[in-house]
Chains A and B, each alone.
Chain A
């Protein structure tokens, strides 16, 4: 049990609305909206949190109230017309059924969006300024447009109430229209909306006043805002506390949802959505400072990844509700597990940022470690027991193998896990050695605790072979043997070492190092940072247009910030074509991918990352004897159906079925390995 748990489990009543505990999920955009509506996938995602005991779940981060704030970026929700009402009603019923409350965030994005979205309308703001993050230049709003947007907010609030939602908040954080008016960086108007802070506050006051008139005094309306933009020329803590006290004092808002920072450009965005490089709850003091000044409840999110931290924040009076948004993406059953005395079973968010990073490149939010999140229609958060108990062997104790062992054991099967090293966790343990990537160890740590608890027979320092597997007479064999790094195809590749060699300490480079990356993920960038911190002079070279091209928007800026600080040279658009020794140094020959011009570097070491190649010799030695020839039926897998080899009586035939998951198939990432294992094993 955690300290101060009772503080989290105390209900909070706001205007007659009683939220059953102090844990919530803030509005965010998982990109699950469909046609601007929260449909089945979106609803099931939040329903799972409601089932899991959450007090309040807020959906629809940046739900738009007007046509000139398009909903299609991040597949968000449009509250601009009444067609959303039936979805709201169904959504509310679905969440209320489990005792949780449901609210939405309403906003007009102003300049923080795209003009080339569904309606092809120009983006609009207080003034004609550019937002670095969206690269949009706004049209200045005219008075009639301001009045119309104010009315749009009021109409949207009415839709929330009619849709049965328990309340709503407006976003005045992350650089949306309301706070674009507040900030003199984006508001250079000379009319009643510009100039003094009092004038700059006017638009938001008009919005909230109109919303109040539309829904009455008893409906809960809050506001999300920053407590300190932490930006040169931006709104200071004093400005924002003045705004908070003014808005709260006028009775316009029933709660304030406080963030630290804002999101006008890449690094600000990354700082406001802190990843694993940041400490836990880095901006709690910002929320606490606002709490001291106002009399209404304060909500706060931002990397509160564990209940103990959340409980401390509430118990010590810093905030009234603690938002554990990403923590619920990793484990939607947080509160249920706490109240059931199973807090040790909580899968804790590691701050990978995979969920949010995906939506900024047009994909759906997925959890790096919980493959069921966002897939509630097909993937279970609680694994059902199998009808018959089987014997299963899992080869490989990386995250894919651990997930397979976990799911099979949850199914009630007798599971034996072979791991040839003395540790469970596989490649993740290697990746976690690179500076701030250390928190990655949380992923295998949870999986290991689960398989141990479930009684999986774990055989460390044991390499599986035909005989060892046959001795167990398994019904199912899962190959999760992972991959090993390779040195690529450049001439003289044998002179290179891999990022694995560096992180696992097999080589300890000194002097000048060229890190060559053909993957574009964390591997090479974090190794470059690691080497630079060891005192090496590092150049990171990549075939791609950018260093770390596949890194998402909450991670790439942090990598860049660290690499710049350490003086690492970043050289994109270059391909490594040859390595050869000269004296006791190396020459790396590079080709510019755009011009074909060749250039050379004289370095002490060349470190390469070409990803991994599968370790599959054991698989191929078993393949012919397996009932399914070691093949996965992709159609069944994708549809979430049991594998054909397990049905129609095939399961009862003697012998075993054999499946491969994760990098043993092809080198990919943590989520791929875990999803491979979950969706296959849940039906075995």
Chain B
């Protein structure tokens, strides 16, 4: 037998070894909670999920997609071809070995590209350690295979060399296979399984009408354990998802908390969760430490508590998250970091009551007042006294139900709402509010882990909404929009919910509002996470701003890849200190555009960005800008009427 003839057996050995090793992980995953998985549908969808969904994310970093296609493609192709080499006729064919050689050549070319991302200096977001050594094993397998097969293709002139290269290939290949349980290559096997058994299969639907599958999944409040105390409290396919992480660090690079020096890195978190499930330690970890890392014991276990200074992850890490989903949006492995964080928070809040100090107040107010500021529900409409704001009584109807949200309690938010209401009046819209029957939508409670309060509010709001008739719900709060649109259906409330930017854009397009151009002003639009990333709405606000004749400049991060203002997910309530503040970073990005106005579309973003001190662009909600333009067109015509002549006594 020529040395090359051993290659197919090497592949078989690798498959067996990898299978055994992966089997250990499968046993771990089975320690998680049960989850319903439609295997057939998942398998059917796998090629598209991999070739379209994953590729689209990977391809945002061209160096990654250019590297991954040849290295993975070459590896799979060479391995596949080699298995065919068990057929004796093929093993004797020079043409066959030429094909194998070419496949290895493709892989080796890919390995060179992999190496260039890591040597001499790895890219900042990449993990080192075993990840840094990964290209070496790939190179050993690829180069060894290449030379061995290549020599076979030209008639095996140097059997001694072939033997040496076979050994090198075997060394690399078996190491790769062995690493299937704990090494970098795990991402491929766990990743593929994850794509099949994904906990949010409809995130791959790409049907914008159905939403983006970003709503949190509810839990049974009668379950024995609420939320995740230990890795075993996660659904099994969530444990699988953690194993799929490729530690590319895209999540970390996008994470606003990480940027602000708060002790959160989504990559580190997922690595910790993967390590915890197998009883590992949070070291070794090849990435950056959590910024301003809080000390933890770092010991994990499938049945050991995760969140604790004595556990794997410090509580400050999960409370730093703004739930902005930037990590999820950037993850090529389709991992759902925010789901994991909320699941961990749920246990802290519901089982331990261990919420950050400042988060106790809103949660306590929620229980007493059905809203987080401790204000009476009847006060929600106070701000609109003097404006026409019809309140729907049970049985009454209106075309548009205006959901006021938290903004109605806040002086700044009230400005936006007044502008919106005046626009509605000018456009002749038939609108009304729920008045004191509107409770808080529960967004903050849910994201702070208080699922019980959220579910109660959801049910009560759904009952109130069911007592009146309307066609659409309109809101200026993307958080309320998200909850009403994506999270209430699980409780029986399904509504057509529209954000005010989209609604107003419709009004302008239909000619119901005729704004005058606000020319000569450079603006930049800040996408609210809960509108853009969570709900895919990035175009309507821009269309509206363009209709106002404003010079629109884009920040480097915008649209679905925009950066968070720091205001979501209860992060302002948790208030975990870092080196700087997220809104300061975001405002810095806005300033770089040279815009004099930051257009916003969310009361949280408004509050966070306006809280930035010093010289900065002004912050205006899109509705405020529109109302300004509508007023300008109204006053442009009858300007002199105020200079009426002295009145004649009748």
Contacts and interface: CB of A to CB of B under 8 A. Distances in A.
Given A5-B411, A9-B383, A39 B647 contact: yes
B416 to A, nearest CB: 11
Interface in A361-404: 377
A86 B649 contact: yes
Interface in B597-650: 610, 642-647, 649-650
A135 interface: no
Contacts of A19: 385
B414 interface: yes
A5 B385 CA distance: 15
A339 B649 contact: no
A439 B644 CA distance: 38
A10 B649 contact: no
A10 B411 contact: no
A21 B385 CA distance: 7
B74 to A, nearest CB: 60
Contacts of B645: 40
Contacts of A422: none
Interface in B111-126: none
B415 A20 contact: no
Contacts of B644: 40
A11 B386 CA distance: 9
Contacts of A37: 647, 649
A18 B385 contact: yes
A20 B386 contact: yes
Contacts of A40: 644-647
B411 A1 contact: yes
Contact of A11 (B385, B409, B411): B385
Interface in A1-24: 1, 5-6, 9-11, 18-21
B383 A99 contact: no
Contacts of A83: 649-650
Nearest to B381: A11
B351 interface: no
B415 A340 contact: yes
Contacts of A43: 647
A87 B643 contact: no
Nearest to B382: A10
Contacts of B650: 83, 85-87
A11 B411 CA distance: 14
Interface residues of B, number: 22
A6 B385 CA distance: 13
Nearest to B624: A340
A341 to B, nearest CB: 6
Nearest to B414: A339
Contacts of A340: 415
B379 interface: yes
Contacts of B386: 11, 20-21, 55, 99-100
B412 interface: yes
A675 B526 CA distance: 43
Given A9-B382, A20-B385, A100-B386, A90 B411 contact: no
B649 A87 contact: yes
A34 B646 CA distance: 10
A83 B409 CA distance: 45
Contacts of B643: 377
Interface residues of A, number: 30
Contacts of A100: 386
A35 interface: yes
A40 B646 CA distance: 6
Contacts of B411: 1, 5-6, 9, 338-339, 341
Could you say which of A11, A35, A39, A90 has the most chain B C-beta atoms within 10 Å of its C-beta?
A11
B387 interface: yes
Interface string A307-335: 00000000000000000000000000000
Interface in B368-390: 375, 379, 382-383, 385-387
A11 B382 contact: yes
Contacts of A377: 643
A8 B465 CA distance: 31
Interface string A86-107: 1100100000000110000000
A314 B645 CA distance: 40
A85 B650 CA distance: 9
Could you say which of B386, B409, B649 has the most chain A C-beta atoms within 10 Å of its C-beta?
B386
Contacts of A99: 386-387
Contacts of B382: 6, 9-11
Interface in A38-91: 39-40, 43-44, 55, 83, 85-87, 90
A90 B649 contact: no
A87 B644 CA distance: 14
Contacts of B375: 6
Contacts of A18: 385
Nearest to A41: B646
A575 B650 CA distance: 54
A315 B177 CA distance: 71
Contacts of A39: 646-647
Contacts of B610: 341
Interface string A515-526: 000000000000
Interface in B492-545: none
B59 to A, nearest CB: 44
Contacts of A10: 379, 382
Nearest to A101: B386
Contacts of A1: 411
A338 B386 CA distance: 16
Contacts of B385: 11, 18-21, 55
Nearest to A84: B649
A382 to B, nearest CB: 12
B610 to A, nearest CB: 8
A83 B648 CA distance: 11
A425 to B, nearest CB: 25
Contact of B647 (A5, A20, A87, A338): A87
B384 to A, nearest CB: 8
A601 to B, nearest CB: 55
A351 to B, nearest CB: 27
Contacts of B387: 99
B440 to A, nearest CB: 17
Contacts of A21: 385-386
Could you say which of B383, B610, B645 has the most chain A C-beta atoms within 10 Å of its C-beta?
B383
A37 B648 CA distance: 10
Interface string B339-383: 000000000000000000000000000000000000100010011
A496 to B, nearest CB: 50
Interface string B398-434: 0000000000010110110010000000000000000
A348 B610 CA distance: 25
A341 B412 contact: yes
Contacts of B414: 9, 339
Nearest to B383: A9
Nearest to B410: A6
A5 B375 CA distance: 14
Nearest to A35: B649
B239 to A, nearest CB: 48
A9 B381 CA distance: 11
B647 A90 contact: yes
B609 to A, nearest CB: 13
Nearest to B418: A339
Interface of B: 375, 379, 382-383, 385-387, 409, 411-412, 414-415, 418, 610, 642-647, 649-650
6 contacts: A6-B375, A9-B382, A10-B382, A83-B649, A341-B412, A341-B415
Q: Which 3 A-B pairs have the closest CB atoms?
A: A99-B386, A20-B386, A11-B385
Given A99-B387, A341-B415, 17 more contacts: A1-B411, A9-B383, A10-B382, A20-B385, A37-B649, A39-B647, A40-B644, A40-B645, A40-B647, A44-B642, A83-B650, A86-B649, A86-B650, A87-B647, A100-B386, A338-B411, A377-B643
Interface of A: 1, 5-6, 9-11, 18-21, 34-35, 37, 39-40, 43-44, 55, 83, 85-87, 90, 99-100, 338-341, 377
